[in-house]
Amino acid sequence: MSGFNRTVLVVEDEALVRGLLVQTLEAAGFEAIGAANAVEAVRVLKTQDPDIALLDIDLGPGANGMDLVHIIRAQNSGTATLFLTKYPDVRAAGLDETAQKLAQGFLRKELVGDSDYLINAIEAVLADRKDVRHDRRPDRPLANLTANQVGILRMLSMGYTNSEIAKRRGKTVSSVEQLLNSTFKSLGIDGNKDINPRIEAVRIFIQSAGIPPREE
């Protein structure tokens, strides 16, 4: 480990998780600064120039972790960024796939089993390694779905009807129904009379990515 304390900005809206991350990083020799949301993070970035930012994607109301990546790139270009999130990839978070290129690393919280794993991932990103990418693993949840299928599955999990999904996507109800049917097939939902395909698809998405916030 280097002879000076490197600084990590931890942006996580869950207080318990944020506190545990800060403690873990401090125990590993980092200077750790916690922020509960994007507003607090921006405030920190005005006076600090962290070596790396550890970001959740979903930060509650307001700007999300991906928004913060843009801010960090503009104002603190020397700060590396690493996502630590519940989402299997950016599509499940409702973000464009091009957004995944903005951060140097992406970790799923459920796969970070111990502190050593997290510290090693941070060290790898700081060393400019490109392999800290859970969002590119072929075995990740929903990996076999297209971006459109993930998107419509996310909207389904928000509770929207087919007609509302069609309106929000600028599509016909018929095209929404066709996409849903192809999504059910890709998920292996065979239309067994004892299983409601719509509910089963929602169950699979929530297990994979959590309950998505409903869009206004």
Please report the pLDDT score of residue 3 as a whole number. Answer: 47
Please report the pLDDT score of residue 1 as a whole number. Answer: 44
Q: What is the pTM of this model?
A: 0.89
Q: Which residue has the higher pLDDT, 193 or 18?
A: 18
Please report the pLDDT score of residue 216 as a whole number. Answer: 67
Residue 39 has pLDDT above 60, yes or no: yes
Q: Domains of the chain, with CATH numbers?
A: 7-136 (3.40.50.2300), 147-209 (1.10.10)
Task: Tell me the backbone φ, ψ of residue 55, rounded to 5 degrees.
Answer: -120, 135
- Tens of pLDDT, residue by residue over 52-107, are 999 999 998 889 999 999 999 998 889 999 999 999 999 999 998 888 788 899 99
DSSP string computed for the chain = --SS--EEEEE-S-HHHHHHHHHHHHHTT-EEEEESSHHHHHHHHHH---SEEEE-S--SSS--HHHHHHHHHHH-TT-EEEEEES-SSGGGGT--GGGGGSSSEEEEGGG--SHHHHHHHHHHHHTT-S--BGGG-TTSTTTTS-HHHHHHHHHHHTT--HHHHHHHHT--HHHHHHHHHHHHHHTT----TTS-HHHHHHHHHHHHH-PPPPP-
